[in-house]
Structure 1
C-alpha cells in the first residue's frame, strides 16, 4: 500500500510540475505556440514529417500576429521567440553582453572537437575569436584563392564527364567543397571529386548525419548540457574524432619536421600554436586541441553550409533561366577582363553575390539562431524579465519569408540585394550568418568558395531542371540544416 501511495504521489507531483512548466509563457503574459504536449512539447513531428525550418516559419507566422515576442516549448524547456526586428537587433547587437552564448553543447573533456569557436561560451569565445580574426582578413583570403581555383579545375573536369546527363548535384558539390577544405585547411588532396569513396568524404558524411535518434540527442544535449557532460556524452563519433585528430597530428608533424610552409588555414593556426602570432601580430598561443577543433569546424562548415548553399543556388539558376543568363553574362565579361578567375575577378562579380544572398534568404541553411541569457534580462519597454540560462530562438526562416519584408517572398529575385534595396531594409531582415559580434567569422570565405563554384560552372555549362528536380523545393525533414529531399537532380550541357 505504501508503494502504491508513493507511486501515485510521484505521478501527481510530476503532472503538476509539467503543467507548471507549460504555463511559463502564460504566467508572463506572453503568447505561445499552441498545444505543447509532454514529453516533446511542440516538437511532435519535427524532424520526422516536418523540417525544423518550416516549423520555425509556422511559429513566426503564429506569433507575429500577437506580440513582438512569444514562445514555444522544446520538450519541457521554454524557448523565447523574438519577432520584432528592433528587438532582434537588441539581442544580437546592442545588448550582446547578455546574449553572447549560443547554447551549443560543449564537452571538451570527452570530445575535444566540440570546442569550436561557434560553440564556446563567454570569455573563452572572446579569447579564441581574437586569435582567429587575423586568419580571415582579405589578405589571407586572397592568399588561399589560388588553391581554391586549382580545385575548381578538377571540378570542371568532373562536370565534363556528366554533360547531357541527370546529375545529383548535392553529392558533386559536397565533394567539391570537401576537396577545397582539404586543400585550404589541411594542405592535402582529398581527391573526393575523383573518388567518391574517399575517407575524408566518408567521415564528413558521418559527422553530418544527425537523423533519427541523433537529431533528438542534439536537441537534448543543447537543452540539458550538464546532464550530457555528467554522462560523458559527445556529439562527434569516436571513429571520426580518431581519424581527424590522427590525420591532423601527422600533417603537423610532417610540416614541422621538414620545415614546410604553405599558404593555407592550417599554416596560420600552426603559427598561433607555436608562436602566439599571425604574421607578427600577437594574439596568444592555442593548444593542439583548440587548433584541431577550429580546423574541424572549418571542415564541417565547408562540407555542410557552403555545399548546400551552392546546391540551392544551382537549383534556382536552373529553374530561373533569365537569372542564369544574366549571371553567366557577368561571369564571362569579368573573366574576359581579367583573363582568369583571380581574387579580383571574384570580388567584381556583384550579380553573382546577389544570387548567393537571395539563395540564402530563400533557403537559409541555418533556419534559426540560438542565444542563451548570461544574466537576468528585461525586454526593453516591457515589464517582462527572463532568467539567466533562458534560450532565445531567432526565427530566421520566418523573417526571410515574411511578405511585409520581402514582397512575393517565395519568388527568387536577386534584385532584392542591390545596394539600394539592402539599405532600404532593416539590418536584421537578413540573417543567414547571424549579426553582431557573434556573426559568422568565415562569411567571406564561404561566399568566395560559392562564387568560385558558380563561376566555374556558368562559364562552361548551362544548367536545367529535369523530371527529377523537386519543383517546388521539398526539404529533408530528418536533418537540422536545410537540405533538398531526395538530392538535387539537375542537367548540364556544354556551352
Structure 2
C-alpha cells in the first residue's frame, strides 16, 4: 500500500512539474508582450492542420490577424516556438542583409542515416555552402541551353498526347497530365531515362514522385517529432524517407551512373553535370582545407531534389496558369498572339531565345505564382540571438525558427492593388522596379533563393507555350470555381483535379 502511495505521489509530482513547464513554455511570447495566438498543447499554432485547415489558410489567417502589430508575432510549430515575420525591412534583413545569421532553414535533415535528406534544400551551415557552390554552376543560362532540346522533345510528345486525349473527350483534367509532362522532363534531364509517364499514368516514376511528397517513414507523428526535436531525432537515427522510396532512387541512380560510366555516355543533362563533380572536378571540402569530389550519396540526393522539386512546382504552376487563362480568355488571347508573333520572328522554331522573348507569357507565370504561391512560407533558423533593429524588446533567440509568409505577402493590397484579381500587368518592367525584391518571394530571395529557378521557368514556359499555341482553354460545368486547396499538402495544391474545356486553335 505504501508503494502505491509513493507511485501516486511521484506521478502527481511529475504531472505538476510538467504542467508548470508547459505553462511557462507556451507563455514565452505573452510574458514578453509579443503578440501570439494562444497555442494548442499538441499542435501549437497549427490547430486543424491537415484536417480542417490547409497550410495556406493557416499562414494567410495568421498574417491578417497580426499584420501591423509589430515586426513579428510569436508562432508555435507544434511545441517549438518560432517567429512569424510581418515587417518587410526585417524580412529583407533575414534573407539578405543579415543572412549569415539565418543561413539554415531549420528542417530536419540526417544525411548520415537518411541519404536522401542530404538535398541542398535541407542542408545546413558548411554542408549547404559546399553543395550550393557545386550546384549553382549547373543552372547557368549556358547549361539550360544544353538541356533545352530535351525539354522541347518531351513537350512535342506532350502536345501529341494532349491532342489524342482531346479526340476522345472535350474536357481535360490538366493537373494530372501536366504532372506527367514534368515527370518525363525531369526523368530525361535528371536520369537520362524516358519515364513514359505521358503514355502511362501508372508509370513507376510518377507514382514514386507523388508518394515522396506526402509519405514519411514514421507517418505524421514521426514527422512532427522530427520537426519539434531534430537533435533528439538524429540521436535516435530517425529517417524521413520511406524505405521503398530510398531503395528505388538509390538503385535507379546507381544503375544510371554505372551504365554511363561503363559506356562513356554523355547527354549534356543534369546527371552529366553531377557526374563531372563526382569524377573530374575537385572542389573544396566543408573545412576548406582540402579538395574532394562529390560523393555518390551526395549525387543521389541532388538528383532526388531535382526530381521532386522540379516536377511538382512546375506542373502545379502550369495548372493554375491554365485555370486563370481559361477564366480570362482575353488575357489568354493576348498570350497566344505574343507566342504567334515571336514564332514568326524565329521561322516557327521554338528556340531558347524565342522562349526568352515571350515576355508577357513570363508575366503570366509570375502573376500565377503570386496568386498561387506554391511554397507559401519560407523557413529560416536563427543561429545567434538577434535583436530586431529599432525594436529592442523583439529578440529572435538562438535556434528559433523563422517563418516568412510569402503567399500572404503576395495577397497584401499594400503591395498589389486588387490582390485577389489575376493581373499579369503586375509584372511589367515598370511595376517590378517600383517594388522591393522581398515583395515577391515565389523563388525566395538572397543567397538561399531557389537554385533551380532558371530550369523551372524554362520548362514552365515551354509547356505553356506549346499548349497555348495549339489549344484554346475555357471553363466548363466541371471546373471548380473557386478552387479548393488540399489540406494534406505543405505545398499549395488543389483538393481535386483542374477540369478545363479544350479545343484546337
Contact 1:162 1:492 in 2 (8 A): no
Is 1:468 paired with 2:478?
Answer: yes
CA distance in 1 between counterparts of 2:361 and 2:152 reads 17
In the superposition, the TM-score normalised over structure 1's length comes to 0.96
**What is the CA-CA distance between 1:216 and the residue it aligns to?**
5.0
Whole-angstrom CA distance in 2 between matches of 1:201 and 1:191: 9
Match of 1:158 in 2: 161
Equivalent residue number for residue 207 of structure 1: 212
Selected match of 1:340 from 332, 349, 355 = 349
Q: 1:316-375 CA deviation, whole Å, 9 max, x = no partner?
A: 111111111111111111112112111011111100110010111011111101100111
Aligned counterpart in structure 2 of residue 40 of structure 1, from 32, 43, 52 = 43
Q: Aligned runs of 1:126-165 on 2, under 5 Å? A: 126-163=129-166, 164-165=169-170
Q: CA deviation at 1:141?
A: 0.3
What's the counterpart of residue 369 of structure 2? 360
Structure 1 unaligned regions, length at least 5: none
Structure 2, unaligned runs of 5 or more: 284-289
Structure 1 counterpart of 2:17, from 13, 20, 25: 13
Partner of 2:183: 178
Structure 1 position 261, deviation (Å) = 1.2
**1:318 corresponding residue in structure 2:** 326
Q: What RMSD in Å do the two structures reach over aligned CA positions?
A: 1.7
Quote the residue 1:288 is aligned against: 296
Aligned equivalents of 1:4, 1:340: Cα separation in 2: 80
* Distance across 2 between alignment mates of 1:49 and 1:444: 36
TM-score (norm 2): 0.94
**Which ranges of 4 or more aligned residues in structure 1 deviate by more than 4 Å?**
210-213
The answer as to whether partners of 2:216 and 2:242 remain within 8 angstroms in 1 is: no
CA deviations 1:127-150 (Å, max 9, x no partner) are 111111111110000110000000
Distance across 2 between alignment mates of 1:70 and 1:55: 14
Match of 1:377 among 380, 383, 386: 386
In 2, Cα distance between equivalents of 1:210 and 1:256: 33
CA shift at 1:467, angstroms?
1.6
Secondary structure of residue in 2 paired with 1:193: coil
From 419, 430, 433, the counterpart of 2:440: 430
C-alpha distance in structure 1 between counterparts of 2:26 and 2:476, whole Å: 47
How far is 1:215 from its partner?
4.5
* SS of residue matched to 2:47: coil
Identify the match of residue 257 of structure 2 among 239, 252, 259. Answer: 252
User: Cα distance 1:461–1:437, how it changes in 2: closer, same or farther (>3 A)?
Assistant: same
Separation in 2, partners of 1:211, 1:407 = 40
Question: Paired residue for 1:88, among 88, 91, 115?
Answer: 91
Corresponding residue SS for 2:8? helix
Give the match for residue 459 of structure 2.
Answer: 449
Question: SS at the partner of 1:428?
Answer: helix
Aligned to 1:233: 238
What pairs with 1:396-411 in structure 2 (closer than 5 Å)? Answer: 396-411=406-421
Q: Quickly say closer, same or farther: Cα 1:364–1:191, change in 2 above 3 A.
A: same
